[in-house]
A and B are shown apart, each in its own frame.
Chain A
Amino acid sequence: MIAQALTRRRERRVLPGFGLSLGISLTFVSLILLLPLTSLVGQLSQLSWSQYWFLITDPRLLASYTVTLLAAAVAALFNAVFGLLMAWVLVRYEFPGKRLVDALMDLPFALPTAVAGITLATLYSSNGWIGRLLEPLGISVSYTWIGIALAMAFTSIPFVVRTVQPVLEDLPAEVDEAAMTLGASDGLAFHRVILPYLWPALVTGTGLAFVRSLGEFGAVIFIAGGKPYETEITSLMIFVKLQEYDYAGASAVASIVLATSLLLLLAINLWQGRFIKRLHGGRG
């Protein structure tokens, strides 16, 4: 019976190389993704539940969760708006230097995050170019949560731009023309016709940006200042614990970040699947 099922499957597959390519992929996934995760779980197994609970509910750590989540949320929302705008400008208009701007969008990915962090910290510190202008207004960016959000936004903006851009390119101009011939104002056409098309991509991009921001380290530590209970982010806490050779403690905190990220990614994927199903007429 099993043999029969196998042969039948073999007959049906037309594309060659299934066994080999899937095998290599799985090996790779195991080595790169699963093995480190396993060691993380291994570290955790040294802890009892009560120790684990004690570690992850340390007040200083709880404060860092709040700072990280809030800053990441602000950064993600900022990116949702600004990234959508950038994608819109890059797709819908022709202007000199468009190619350059398009290439610049990837810079945050290419730039070492530490470089970004140092640059931002220098720019926004009280005697930096921008910080100097903001200080008289009573706004300080460096060493506050605003700075953290700023650094997070900087490193994660490409997620939004690069997920929204291709969807926007695929959106036929006819669709907003149709809305206009039906008397819709620009705002209404955008809100009821264009935005719903972009919605899955925008949510995915924003979600990815958020998840990325949760774990951001390099860019943030320089501008965050790391004042306990105020500007300490969770990834910094992991780093601090590692420096104290507290591997179990570091793993415990890491497991929280990991679980949050995985849950979020899963939620985004499930939601997106449902949405896309509807666009394709329930045929998946």
Chain B
Amino acid sequence: MSIRISQIDKTYGNKGHGRKDDGRTRALEPIDLDIQDGELIGLLGPSGSGKTTLLRIVAGLEQADGGSIHFGERDVTHVHVRDRRIGFVFQHYALFRHMNVFDNVAFGLTAMPRAQRPSSGEIRNRVMQLLEMVRLQDFAERFPAQLSGGQQQRVSLARALALKPDVLLLDEPFGALDAKVRQELRRWLRHLHEELHFTSLFVTHDQEEALELSDRVVVMSNGRVEQIATPDTLYRQPANRFVFEFLGDVNRLEGDIEEEVLTCGNARVAVPGVENGRQELLLRPHEIRLDEQPSPRAHLPVSVTAVVPVGAEVRIELEADWLGEPWLATISHADFERLAITRGKRLYAQPSRLHRFDTTRPQTLAPLSVS
């Protein structure tokens, strides 16, 4: 079932929502979003960006001030949450503690009006089938308090899927779990999605999670959509500086540009095609190469302050008096050994790419290849 969100906006009028007490807080600017049937969409943003509000409005747990929501051809803008045919998974599971796992999953089925309710045999089959799907068939008689966090979240997913919802909504579904379980559940959710093809919208503040799971990611900040794109596009062609910074580590270089050369203290680097004036350039940690000699294009003397040789790459922290805050560089283990990097070693940084986000036209991005 496709979802069409048009011009949804929301303003919190008074206190009681955990936000500012004075005046009104704009939680969502008018937002448009089209979700295809069977798509898995991630809503990504820092806390307070409005992503959870948007999800709750789609669910019907909160009312928008204006705009409309369609599930397929059905206008659900003013439909009560219980009639929207959604499944909702809460961050803290929200299981019914006084019911065992079976009764939790069966709740939606047993809550149906008597005329539509399946027979108890059918309910039993359906619940056991769902529990098998979430690999918890042996836990039907347990109470939620006897399960681990990951197991509880799987119960909550089975419960949400019991009514075969048109749309599955997940609010930071893995946020309360530890890293390993999170990774496992993420993979498992993706398989489940490939198998069942439900349309799904999930909220997360973890970029990795959003990029790994989603068909498309909606990046939000301050109640605005910053960019809607596939994970690949998002990472390679961020629409603006916020998206660029939110999706990974960023190093900053600020200086005065004169005749296509940026100078900052005793550091300078060639920036072809950039007009004169004060500029701020950004680069990712993997876009820095380290060398023992400066090159004609770049003279950026740095010293190594920390080395983390764990993982596929070596993470190196760099400092210099011309730098406001330290840089982070990731280099290959081969380079690391070749340069014999230790703490305190003096080296020269070679940027392979520099990004510039024009503040007057935030939509433009100018990657400067300098190599």
Contact = CB atoms under 8 A, between A and B. Distances in A.
A176 to B, nearest CB: 9
Given A279-B145, A282-B143, A181 B98 contact: no
Nearest to B162: A182
Given A182-B163, A183-B108, A281-B143, A177 B94 contact: yes
A174 interface: yes
Interface in B269-316: none
A183 B95 CA distance: 15
A280 B90 CA distance: 20
B366 interface: no
Contact of B82 (A183, A281, A283): A183
Contact of B92 (A172, A180, A184): A172
Contacts of B144: 281
Nearest to B143: A281
Nearest to B91: A174
A278 B98 contact: yes
B96 A174 contact: no
- Residue from the set A172, A182, A283 with the largest chain B CB neighbour count within 10 Å: A182
Interface in B117-154: 142-146
A178 interface: yes
A213 to B, nearest CB: 29
Contacts of B108: 182-184
A193 interface: yes
A197 interface: yes
Contact of B98 (A174, A178, A279): A279
A196 B99 CA distance: 9
A175 B87 CA distance: 14
A101 interface: no
B61 interface: yes
A181 B82 contact: yes
B97 A197 contact: yes
A192 B95 CA distance: 13
A94 interface: yes
B107 A280 contact: no
B59 interface: yes
Interface in A159-173: 172
A185 interface: yes
Contacts of A178: 88, 90, 94-96, 156, 159
A179 interface: yes
Given A175-B96, A282-B143, A181 B61 contact: yes
Interface residues of A, number: 24
A193 B96 CA distance: 7
B16 interface: yes
Main secondary structure of the interface of A (DSSP, over half): helix
Contact of B94 (A94, A174, A184, A279): A174
A188 B88 CA distance: 18
Contacts of A94: 16
Nearest to B112: A183
Given A193-B96, A279-B145, A281-B146, A181 B16 contact: no
A174 B83 CA distance: 18
Contact of A175 (B81, B94, B160): B94
B59 A181 contact: yes
B86 interface: yes
B112 A181 contact: no
Interface in B188-238: none
B111 interface: yes
A185 B82 contact: yes
B85 to A, nearest CB: 8
B61 A188 contact: no
A140 B107 CA distance: 48
A208 B82 CA distance: 38
Interface in A181-228: 181-185, 188, 192-193, 196-197
Nearest to A189: B111
B92 A174 contact: yes
Contacts of B111: 179, 182-185, 188, 192
A156 B143 CA distance: 35
B107 A182 contact: yes
A94 B17 CA distance: 12
Interface string A244-284: 00000000000000000000000000000000001111110
- Residue from the set B82, B92, B99 with the largest chain A CB neighbour count within 10 Å: B82
Nearest to B85: A183
A184 B16 CA distance: 26
A180 B82 CA distance: 5
B94 A172 contact: yes
B360 to A, nearest CB: 44
A96 B85 CA distance: 36
A188 B82 CA distance: 12
A174 B107 CA distance: 15
A201 to B, nearest CB: 13
Contacts of A281: 142-146
Contacts of B156: 178
6 contacts: A172-B92, A177-B94, A196-B98, A196-B99, A281-B145, A282-B146
Leading 7 A-B pairs by shortest Cβ distance: A281-B145, A182-B108, A174-B94, A281-B146, A181-B88, A178-B94, A184-B111
